[in-house]
Amino acid sequence: MYLLLNIDVADLDRGVRFYEAALGLRYSRSLFDGGAAEMLGAGCRLYLIERAEPDPAPAGAAHPWSRHWTPIHPDFVVQDIATATARAVTAGALQETPIRPFEWGQLVTLSAPFGNGFCLIEFVGEPYEVPATPERNGPPAR
């Protein structure tokens, strides 16, 4: 099994330019008679799918192209969160939170010009692993 990530965009050319400039993804190929683009470079294949109008929500209400919430969103792991955030914002992303520190690293939330939310994360070690300290080298409490 492997993961493919599909992201709806209102304008495919603009979407390709944004994801190249903001996250360093690279265009691979066009699909579906030019209605989609495969992007590589994030550890999985990411497909931008052009939709003139957003698909309706299950209840029948249309999702606007303005910022909207979805419980599933991509997290892009970066080496330098400040540089990656500046790059994304320069490319057109909206930074929604400050860069926040956690024991396991740093995180910032942003949204693409099409309203899709995503996070940039810089880990200290393994994903979400809290580095060991003298107080924390025993087994986890149960």
Q: Report, in angstroms and rounded to the nearest whole number, the Rg of the chain calculated over CA atoms.
A: 17
Give the mean model confidence (pLDDT) for residues 13-17.
97
Is pLDDT larger for residue 63 or for residue 129? 129
Type and span of the H or E element at 8: strand 4-9
pTM, full prediction? 0.79
Displacement of CA 80 from its chain's centroid (Å): 15
**Residue 20 pLDDT greater than 70, yes or no:** yes
The tens digit of pLDDT for each residue in 84-130 reads 999 999 999 999 999 999 999 999 999 999 889 999 999 998 888 88
Name the one residue in this structure whose structure tokens are 């979407």: 15
Q: How far apart are CA 47 and CA 29, in angstroms?
A: 10
Residue 27 pLDDT level (bands cut at 50, 70, 90): very high
Q: How far apart are CA 135 and CA 141, in angstroms?
A: 12
Q: What residues contact residue 70 under an 8 Å CB cut-off, 6+ apart? A: 116, 117
